[in-house]
Structure 1
């Protein structure tokens, strides 16, 4: 999860091992993407997705 202006580039960086914190967990697949108007809105959405109900929402996308 994260905030970016270039989703394709961010996914590429994660899957190519450029990001040390995510390197051991690759490959990644994009399952949810939403555009927000402000950085504050994006941070709030990211925080919501990291809650139990947000995690449940993301898991249900995979079913």
Structure 2
């Protein structure tokens, strides 16, 4: 199983989309500063995630969530009012 996930910084107005096989481990890595892309925005809340069966689908979904139309879809369907 692969997970495409959305993190929201607790201290700055910033979100991150990524994918992983081990969701709990990856969120811990982000929150401990082990990810170069997110270390300046920690700590994070896990806002949402989608589980898919294969890596190719996870990569496509991650890429979509980072596109303009994907961000709009994500905001409408996966984010709460306060996010």
TM-score range, shorter chain: 0.7 to 0.9
Q: TM-score, normalised by structure 2?
A: 0.67
More helix by share: 1
Residue from 46, 52, 55 that aligns with 1:36: 52
Match of 1:17 in 2: 33
More strand by share: 2
User: Cα RMSD between the aligned structures?
Assistant: 1.3
In structure 1, stretches of 5+ residues that fail to align are none
SS at match of 2:58: helix
Match of 2:5 in 1: none
SS at match of 2:71: helix
Preserved CA contact (<8 Å) 1:15 1:28? yes
Task: Tell me the number of residue pairs that the alignment of Structure 1 and Structure 2 aligns.
Answer: 63
Residue from 61, 65, 80 that aligns with 1:45: 61
1:12-56 residue CA offsets vs partner (Å, 9 max, x unmatched): 110111112210011111112111111100011001101112212
Q: TM-score, normalised by structure 1?
A: 0.84
In structure 2, stretches of 5+ residues that fail to align are 1-16
